[in-house]
Amino acid sequence: MIINKILNNNVVVILDENKKEQVVMGRGIAFKKRPGDIIDKNMVDKVFMLSDKSMNHKFKELMMDLPIEYIEVADEIIKYAKLNLGKKLSENLIISLSDHICNAVERSKDGINVKNPIVWDIKRFYKDEFEVGLEGLKIIKRKLNYELPTDEAGFIAIHIANSLMDESLTNMYDITIVMQEILNIVRYYLNIKFDEESVYFYRFTTHIKFFAQRLISKKTYEDDEDDSLLEIMKSKYQESYKCVNKISEFIYKKYKYIISNEEKLYLTIHIAKIMNKTS
């Protein structure tokens, strides 16, 4: 490996055989080195290559300013997430998560702990990601010898969920708020208590998660179904359909978003199953 550029003592940029940049990390890897020097492969801890050029540039900037331990912690959390979620994560996650962990720890050292106002909703809607967040706190404590509050597990979970859904972090918060609003309408209009461990609740929250994603991104669900099926469900599940109308009215009033008939059909079916399992 030949050094193309030195970012700091622990991070260098090399060019691979295709002349593409790779960011190489290792403690003291660039100590007393210059561009053009060969680095010892035994000193390499991690090699990063982001396909998005703009993200690659941001990553290099981050590496120049961020202590190596924060990147190592973020990388270990990402490895744990991949192993336990069994899903592909955005390669850009290393940027946002490293930066967030650094800021969270530094703020906490200054006695500033940011409250997460939707931590309980994150725990409900993103259970698996929240478990990764809790493990992330353990990794931070073990590697950085610093204990962060549980609220931070929620923030880590949102970063993970954001990576899975390919949404911006702001959008993920907005999506979670929409989900919370819909569940509140269902709960109070139908006067039911959710069994949050049931498969029906899981399916419903998964459905409204993607509905909320479409709403926030202003995408509509195409109406391919025959409206006659909605009429059948409307007749069969009258209370569920009335509840869907309440949701539709609220969504239009607050977000100026029109829920399609096909979306109403699926919401009606999901709510009917929820009602059946809580009655």
Q: What is the CATH number of the domain that holds 34?
A: 2.30.24.10
Chosen domain end from 131, 166, 201 = 166
Per-residue pLDDT at 147 = 94
Chosen domain end from 166, 192, 218 = 166
- The torsion of the CA quartet 197, 198, 200, 202, rounded to 10 degrees, works out to 30
Q: What is the domain count for the chain?
A: 3
Does some domain include residue 99? Answer: yes
Per-residue pLDDT at 266 = 86
In this structure, what CATH number is given to the domain that contains residue 235?
1.10.1790.10
Does some domain include residue 57? Answer: no
Does some domain include residue 150? Answer: yes
Does some domain include residue 60? Answer: no
Per-residue pLDDT at 275 = 85
Query: Which pTM was predicted?
Result: 0.71
How many Å apart are CA 103 and CA 110, to the nearest integer? 11
Per-residue pLDDT at 171 = 84
> Does residue 233 sit in the same domain as residue 269?
yes
Per-residue pLDDT at 224 = 53
> Measured between alpha carbons, how far is residue 14 from residues 22, 26, 59, 90, 227 in Å?
5, 13, 14, 22, 59
The residue segments making up the domain with residue 191 are 171-278
> Does residue 74 sit in the same domain as residue 146?
yes
Strands (DSSP E) contained in 1-78 are 3-8, 11-15, 21-25, 46-48
Per-residue pLDDT at 79 = 94
Does some domain include residue 62? Answer: no
How many Å apart are CA 40 and CA 22, to the nearest integer? 15
> Does residue 135 sit in the same domain as residue 225?
no
> Does residue 73 sit in the same domain as residue 141?
yes
> Does residue 218 sit in the same domain as residue 259?
yes
Per-residue pLDDT at 226 = 56
Per-residue pLDDT at 34 = 84
User: In the chain, which stretches have pLDDT less than 70?
Assistant: 166-168, 220-226, 277-279
In the sheet that 46-48 helps form, which strands lie side by side, from edge to edge?
3-8, 11-15, 21-25, 46-48
How many Å apart are CA 195 and CA 114, to the nearest integer? 30
Does some domain include residue 12? Answer: yes
> Using one digit for the tens of pLDDT, what is the confidence trace for 119-144?
888 888 899 999 999 999 999 999 99
> Does residue 269 sit in the same domain as residue 218?
yes
> Does residue 32 sit in the same domain as residue 106?
no
> Measured between alpha carbons, how far is residue 102 from residues 51, 69, 108, 115 in Å?
24, 9, 10, 17
Chosen domain end from 132, 148, 166 = 166
Does some domain include residue 89? Answer: yes
269 in helix, strand or coil? helix
> Does residue 159 sit in the same domain as residue 208?
no
> Does residue 160 sit in the same domain as residue 74?
yes
> Does residue 228 sit in the same domain as residue 267?
yes
